[in-house]
Amino acid sequence: MLKVNADPFTFTFDPSSTALVVIDMQRDFIEPGGFGETLGNDVSHMQRAIAPTRDLLKLFRQKGWPVFHTRECHAADLSDCPPAKRDRGNPLMRIGDDGPMGRILVRGEPGAEIVAECAPLAGEIVIDKPGKGAFYATSLGEDLERLKIRSLVFAGVTTEVCVQTTMREANDRGYECLLIEEATESYFPEFKAATLDMIRAQGGIVGWTAPLKSFAVALNPQDDIR
Ligand code: TIU
């Protein structure tokens, strides 16, 4: 068992049953002209999550532990996009409309791809999801059961929407969930802070959070240069 110095207390995990889940590090959320910006958000906040997520991916890849990537996106005919999702509010463009990175939030379009720094490698599982949570209407639950995973380490965007929703889904299914603090971002810094607090409140009601360094040191104690 490995131990991570985490909040609200030590996160203990068995490396043989632990996977990384990187949520929606897509151009549509991170770059100008995508879905996130159409909703009126300042997407520049997302840049902060890229390097820590890349570094976290590197740690899992060095160990050969399982890596999942998710992408929020819809079929070209939008048959998996509820009208309530497409019609809500007054965005600059709607899901399926033509934007500078192709059709907004549509599978296979440039905007739906994961940013180059965090791109999936061969053998890593990519889960396309129509909702905010990665378990709803996907194979994620079955994939995790097949691999006998018990603990999940999370990264990605946005903290309070797709990351938190997926962590709550995972927590209800019995997974021990750790969110790496620098490897997630929100368009609203105060929402990120509040979400980290919510996750670890009440004795870890949803799970744990930890700085990337604490996780890295748990994996490679020899790197703990103080
Ligand atoms: N709008 C927002 O903050 N997020 C999303 O719509 N999806 C994800 O978080 N991936």
Query: How far apart are the CA of 119 and the centre of ligand 1, in A?
Result: 19
* pLDDT at position 79 over 60: yes
Mutate to test the pocket of ligand 1, among 21, 71, 162, 185 (most ligand atoms within 8 A of CB): 162
Query: How far apart are the CA of 24 and the centre of ligand 1, in A?
Result: 8
The sign of the CA dihedral 201, 52, 20, 12 is: negative
Mean pLDDT of 74-94: 97
Q: What is the per-residue pLDDT for 154?
A: 99
- Please indicate whether residue 29, judged by its CB atom, sits closer than 6 Å to ligand 1: yes
Mean pLDDT of 190-208: 98
- Residue-wise pLDDT for 128-186, tens only, equals 999 999 999 999 999 999 999 999 999 999 999 999 999 999 999 999 999 999 999 99
When pLDDT is cut at 50, 70 and 90, the band that residue 222 belongs to is confident
* pLDDT at position 225 over 80: no
163 CA closest ligand 1 atom index: 9
Residue nearest to atom 8 of ligand 1 (CA): 162
Mutate to test the pocket of ligand 1, among 28, 29, 93, 118 (most ligand atoms within 8 A of CB): 29
17-42 residues labelled b (16+ CB within 10 A) or e (exposed): bbbbbbbbbbbbbbbebbbbbbbebe
* Alpha-carbon distances, residue 159 vs 38, 142, 186, 212 (angstroms): 18, 24, 5, 15
Q: What is the pTM of this model?
A: 0.98
* pLDDT at position 226 over 60: no
Known catalytic residues are: 24, 129, 162
- Residue-wise pLDDT for 91-110, tens only, equals 999 999 999 999 999 999 99
- Cβ neighbours of residue 77 closer than 8 Å, sequence gap 6 or more: none
Query: How far apart are the CA of 158 and the centre of ligand 1, in A?
Result: 5
* pLDDT at position 208 over 90: yes
Q: In this structure, what token pair is assigned to residue 9?
A: 């207390």
DSSP 152: E
Q: In this structure, what token pair is assigned to residue 147?
A: 């691999």
* pLDDT at position 50 over 70: yes
Q: What is the mean pLDDT of the chain?
A: 97
* pLDDT at position 23 over 60: yes
23 CA closest ligand 1 atom index: 10
Mean pLDDT of 21-46: 98
Q: What is the per-residue pLDDT for 224?
A: 73
- Please indicate whether residue 72, judged by its CB atom, sits closer than 6 Å to ligand 1: yes
Query: How far apart are the CA of 162 and the centre of ligand 1, in A?
Result: 6
